[in-house]
Amino acid sequence: MVTIRVPAAAAALFAVFCLSTHSASGSYPRAQNVTWKSTNFKTILSWEPKPSADYSYTVEYSAIGRDKERNLHCVRSGMTVCDLSSSLTDLNACYTADVLSEPLLGATTDLIEFPHTSSPRFCPYKDTDIGRPDFKLDVSAGKKKTTLFVTDPLTALFKDGRQLDIRDIFSNQLQYKVTYRKNKSTGKKVYTSASNVIELTDLDRGESYCFNVQAFIPTRSIDKQLGELSQTQCSSDDNQSIFEVYSVGVIAAAIFLILLLIGLIIAVTVICCKRRKKALKKEKEGMPLRAV
């Protein structure tokens, strides 16, 4: 049996090599909390922690069953977010992404495979949140009909140089849900429309109503059917008292101005009367006595 003796110096060098390799791997911690955030197809991948000065992050993404790709803005980056809005071109596909911990651009390492963390699955068409819509309110002259003109929210997507809105993406699947109530009342009614022009005719004449609008896509999962609620808009109330229309400060200022105006009129009237009496008295005193 032949015994091979390794010199102590060689054993020490081997140990140092192993330790340095382990250290290189340990200097690139894995990304954590990799999540998707998407509103109106503005899709951001985010993660933690912020990298140190010794390493960076690279994002690789792919549709399920397809080859991995990279976004040039998310290669060897010191950021913890990656905007993939323009990269996820097939909106009906589902995607996953890997966040790799890599050396800085230009730096070298002995590592062959870098630590990485995978994201959950994300399907743009089904998962993106829909933002709040804007709308204008119009009440007919006879107060018999109230019409809401809804503007489709814009997306982060472009086609042929034109920015697309959610109607361009969802087509006839897009509806709008209107929630309305009498002003200062808690009772609510709901109306759903497939059109952007929504006419409501079951309102009481002369009453003020408040409205909210949100996108509604019934073909989606329950938790993704409704978009963000719009800001509240209320119609005018013909039966409002002056205290409901104007604030106390405005009413007090108006009363003060009215009283001041009345005071000025009275003062001018009194002064004019006194001057007139004084003039008449002087006129009488200057007249000669009549002969008897």
Same domain, 122 and 21: yes
Give the C-alpha separation, 154 to 122, whole Å: 21
pLDDT tens digits, residue range 40-66? Answer: 999 999 999 999 988 999 999 999 999
Contact 58, 72 (CB under 8 A): no
For residues 60-84, average pLDDT = 96
Query: Is 155 part of a structural domain of the chain?
Result: yes
| pLDDT (0 to 100) of residue 27 | 62
Same domain, 37 and 61: yes
The domain in which residue 183 lies consists of 134-238
Query: Is 142 part of a structural domain of the chain?
Result: yes
Burial class (CB in 10 A: 0-12, 13-18, 19+), 182: middle
pLDDT tens digits, residue range 221-235? Answer: 999 999 999 999 998
Going by pLDDT thresholds of 50, 70 and 90, the confidence category of residue 206 is: confident
Rounding to the nearest 10 degrees, give the CA dihedral for residues 109, 112, 116, 121.
140
pLDDT tens digits, residue range 88-115? Answer: 999 999 999 999 999 987 777 777 789 9
Give the C-alpha separation, 12 to 211, whole Å: 78
Q: Pick 11 or 115 by higher pLDDT.
A: 115
Query: Is 161 part of a structural domain of the chain?
Result: yes
Report for 18-27, 135-144, 224-233: range of highest mean pLDDT: 224-233
Query: Is 263 part of a structural domain of the chain?
Result: no
Going by pLDDT thresholds of 50, 70 and 90, the confidence category of residue 131 is: very high
Calculate the CA 44 to chain-centre distance: 15
Same domain, 79 and 103: yes
For residues 147-167, average pLDDT = 97
Instruction: Please tell me the total count of domains within the chain.
Output: 2
CATH (domain of 62): 2.60.40.10
For residues 255-277, average pLDDT = 87
Asked whether residue 9 carries a pLDDT value surpassing 90, the answer given is: no
Extract the runs of DSSP E, i.e. beta strands, from the chain.
Answer: 32-39, 42-48, 55-63, 69-70, 81-83, 95-103, 116-118, 134-139, 146-151, 154-159, 162-165, 175-182, 189-193, 197-200, 209-216, 233-234
Kindly state the tokens that stand for 39: 């509103």
Rounding to the nearest 10 degrees, give the CA dihedral for residues 47, 225, 42, 114.
30
